[in-house]
Amino acid sequence: MGQHSNKPIDDTTERIERVSIKPTHTGPLSSTVDDAFVEKCQNILLAGSCGDALGKWTEFVPTLDAIESSWPGGLRGFDQVERRLHGAPPPYTDDTQMSLLVLHTLIKMRREQSDINLICTSLAEAFATTWLDDPQTPSRMPGNACLSASNLLRERLPARPDPAWWKAGAPGAGGCGAVMRAYPFALVYADQPEFAVRAAAEHGTITHGAALSSAATAAFVAGVLAGIHGKDCPAMVTAMVQAAETYDHETAAMIESAAAKGADPSITQSAVLGSDNSNPFPGQLRGWAGHEAIAAAAFLLARHGSDAEAAVVAGANTPGDSDSIASVAGVLSAAAGGVMPEKWRAVEGSGEIAQLVEEMISA
């Protein structure tokens, strides 16, 4: 546990004061960004949903041998699952569904110049209403921590001035559900990185109360921001380690160690991300927990750099939480400058990405 472990604070006034931090920049994002930024945001959204939609097929396949027997040579593209799609676009799962809900909510929040408490209150309401009411949610394979916190919040609504969102996530909840949906903070608040990282970490506690989740969430957003602002992969990793350290030392150490292994070509992927999900040993990253997911993605970023397709494919071919690992790795690789080849535009929702980014920069 880090020195600033986010132990629950019961005093509502104290907590609200702590998160009544306002954005430092107002006005639309479009006044501070260029065409390259717009393109990068589009690539990030595409790579994130492709990793999710590819990893969906391997998430519950528990060994590399089992993946190999279904898809000889590994699962490398949507063409290999075409028969199972019955003509529909390859669907994404809860990772992208929740990320898009976060993105839509943040666009509105930026426009209204909301502070962190208001942002989190709105997100809590969105999870408890829009997300739970969405008839597609059950088939997106949502995580238990997200479901139970959202149901708890639903019982508290309508609640003013706030639904005590920071008490909804169980203190021990440390799955990767908060991490995977956090990257929109880096996009919508790209012009104010400190605010983006802090707001993202706070939002994680809506569903996940463990310090490792806050650390992993902060690290993800800090890494994406570093990439967006032109830093190379090692500098992105440094930003991730520093952001994680604020909340949890163990998470920071895991990211640093995984990235070092990713940069060492003598170390195989299966030595770090495993070959069998039922037989984990210390140091192997399965991605079910937030710190493992972000460390696994840091390994893939260090190994594949801005080759977003390679990062996504490698993330999908893992025995653990493949969709989240591939999605987070895809986002980081695209932030580093990666572009998914044209054929990946088959993924669900890709036709709406350009419009969504347009809406984002005018907010």
323 labelled ligand-binding: yes
Closer Cβ to Mg ion, 94 or 348, answer by number: 94
Does 93 bind Mg ion (CB under 5 A)? Our answer is yes
34 labelled ligand-binding: no
* Contacts (CB under 5 A) with Mg ion, residues 308-337: 323
Position closest to Mg ion via CB: 93
Closer Cβ to Mg ion, 62 or 171, answer by number: 62
Does 202 bind Mg ion (CB under 5 A)? Our answer is no
Q: How far apart are CA 343 and CA 260, in angstroms?
A: 32
Closer Cβ to Mg ion, 331 or 361, answer by number: 331
Contacts of residue 80, Cβ cutoff 8 Å, sequence gap at least 6: 71
Smallest distance, Å, CB 323 to Mg ion? 4
Dihedral through CA 271, CA 276, CA 282, CA 283, nearest 10?
30
Does 49 bind Mg ion (CB under 5 A)? Our answer is no
Smallest distance, Å, CB 147 to Mg ion? 13
Closer Cβ to Mg ion, 31 or 139, answer by number: 139
94 labelled ligand-binding: yes
Smallest distance, Å, CB 6 to Mg ion? 25
Q: How far apart are CA 273 and CA 325, in angstroms?
A: 10
324 labelled ligand-binding: yes
CA distances from 225 to 2, 64, 319 (A): 23, 33, 29
Site size toward Mg ion, by CB under 5 A: 4
Could you say which of 37, 57, 94, 299 contacts Mg ion (CB under 5 A)?
94
Closer Cβ to Mg ion, 29 or 347, answer by number: 347
Could you say which of 19, 33, 95, 336 contacts Mg ion (CB under 5 A)?
95
Per the structure block, which two tokens stand in for 126? 């969105």
Give the chain's radius of gyration (CA, Å). Answer: 19
Output the known binding site: 93-95, 321, 323-324
Output the known binding site for Mg(2+): 93-95, 321, 323-324
Summarize as ranges the residues that interact with Mg ion (CB under 5 A): 93-95, 323
